[in-house]
């Protein structure tokens, strides 16, 4: 199976399945000398782990990370960094009766048709548990970019179902995001979001929403023309996350309603002679290259596919069957997806930073 590695110079390969022995990643290309520890990485993994609140899956995993290579005496050595978490609360028997059934909107059917075999234990490789490795790798990228360039990555739940916040993304802080279990910085609507998630859980259903991402203090000049635009690679990074169905940057689809005279980001000379833009409809990227403004994007997540409501589907023989799924699943993935969005943004920026350094010696 190909497609398990992301990035060119900062390369992240993830491994493992939902109910296998372990999940993790190998990070290649991290610069030498970065101080890193399991504790640094654990902070973000704790934000992603299952069972962290009443609105997430009941699966209980401590997700304690082990660094098996690439770090010596607390610093990166320049060799591949392997990190792993052992699955402790795997219950593959929960899926025994589903092994010959194609669950609606899951990867069961497509994996079977493509490979002729699939790991039916919780979706195997297609499970969102794979994203643990991404978050671990992203924690390394975030630490390097924060210390080296002062870059900050923030993501938060902007919308659950039809409940949406209108807060200014440029003014949101990490403290506001982490102040509640939904990870929405708008305290006025948090309880409404929680009530909606709990409601759909009781109904045996699920609900989707939108995560807003902001990357602050990005230097000018990151990204490549044509096929490797920074916006294109961010889009690929976000669309590779399980359950993601949409990505937009800057004005996104709303920009289609505007005139050029409204949408153009006019330049001006700011403090200390720095060239800035009066607006940021470009989302911090022009011509595929960062322009020094905050990078702003939105990521749309579908409702979780596994629900407890009865559905009609087919089995591997093409026969109609009734399905009422069991197991432990999130009624809404967004609160746990926030650190995943941050991680993929950080991995993308880290890769383009190193590529930019290599081109401009």
For the stretch 166-220, pLDDT in tens is 999 999 999 999 999 999 999 999 999 999 999 999 999 999 999 999 999 999 9
- For residue 49, the model assigns a pLDDT of 87
Q: Which residues does residue 86 pair with via DSSP β-bridges, in sequence order?
A: 22
Q: In terms of Cα–Cα distance, which of 244, 235, 258, 358 is closest to 304?
A: 244
pLDDT band at 68 (very low <50, low <70, confident <90, very high): very high
CATH dotted code for 5-359: 3.60.150.10
CA distance 182 to 177: 8
Q: Where are the alpha helices (DSSP H) in the chain?
A: 38-48, 108-115, 131-149, 174-177, 190-202, 230-239, 260-263, 334-359
pLDDT at residue 1, as a whole number = 55
Bigger pLDDT: 18 or 158? Answer: 158
In this predicted structure, the answer to whether residue 95 has a pLDDT above a threshold of 80 is no
Least confident window among 123-127, 224-228, 285-289: 123-127
Q: What is the mean pLDDT of the segment spanning 240-252?
A: 97
Reported as a pLDDT band with limits 50, 70 and 90, residue 121 is confident
pLDDT for position 59: 66
Give, rounded to a whole angstrom, the gap between the first and last alpha carbons of the chain: 36
pLDDT for position 254: 97
The interaxial angle of helices 334-359 and 131-149, nearest 10 deg, is: 50
When comparing pLDDT for 266 and 91, which is higher?
Answer: 266
- Mean pLDDT of all residues in 70-84: 98
pTM of the model: 0.95
Dihedral sign, Cα of residue 7, residue 12, residue 15, residue 17: negative
The pLDDT, as a whole number, for residue 130 is: 95
């Amino acid at each position: 199976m190909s497609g398990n590695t992301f990035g060119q110079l900062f390369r992240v390969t993830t491994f493992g399945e939902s109910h296998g022995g372990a999940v993790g990643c190998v990070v290649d290309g991290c610069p030498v000398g970065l101080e890193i520890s399991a504790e640094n990485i654990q902070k973000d993994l704790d934000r992603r782990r299952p069972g962290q609140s009443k609105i997430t899956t009941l699966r209980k995993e401590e997700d304690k990370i082990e660094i098996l290579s690439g770090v010596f005496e607390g610093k990166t050595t320049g060799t591949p960094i392997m990190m792993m978490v052992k699955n402790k609360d795997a219950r593959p028997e929960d899926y025994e009766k589903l092994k010959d059934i194609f669950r609606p909107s899951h990867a069961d059917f497509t994996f079977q048709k493509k490979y002729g075999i699939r790991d039916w234990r919780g979706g195997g490789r297609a499970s969102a548990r794979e994203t643990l490795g991404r978050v671990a790798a992203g924690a390394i990228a975030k630490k390097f970019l924060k210390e080296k360039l002062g870059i900050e990555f923030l993501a938060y739940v902007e919308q659950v179902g039809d409940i949406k916040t209108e807060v200014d993304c440029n003014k949101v802080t990490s403290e506001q995001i982490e102040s509640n279990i939904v990870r929405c910085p708008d305290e006025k609507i948090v309880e409404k979001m929680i009530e909606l998630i709990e409601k759909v859980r009781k109904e045996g259903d699920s609900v989707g929403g939108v995560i807003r991402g902001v990357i602050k203090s990005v230097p000018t000049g990151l990204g490549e023309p044509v096929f490797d635009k920074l916006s294109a690679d961010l889009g690929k990074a976000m669309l590779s996350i399980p359950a993601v169905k949409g990505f937009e940057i800057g004005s996104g689809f709303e920009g289609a309603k505007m005139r050029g005279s409204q949408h153009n980001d006019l330049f001006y000379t700011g403090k200390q002679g720095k060239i800035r833009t009066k607006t940021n409809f470009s989302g911090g990227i022009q011509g595929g290259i960062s322009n020094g403004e905050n990078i702003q994007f939105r990521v749309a997540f579908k409702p979780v596919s596994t629900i407890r409501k009865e559905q009609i589907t087919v089995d591997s023989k093409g026969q109609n069957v009734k399905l009422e799924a069991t197991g432990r699943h999130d009624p809404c993935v967004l609160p746990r997806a926030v650190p995943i969005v941050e991680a993929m943004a950080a991995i993308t920026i880290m890769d383009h930073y190193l590529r930019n350094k290599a081109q401009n010696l």
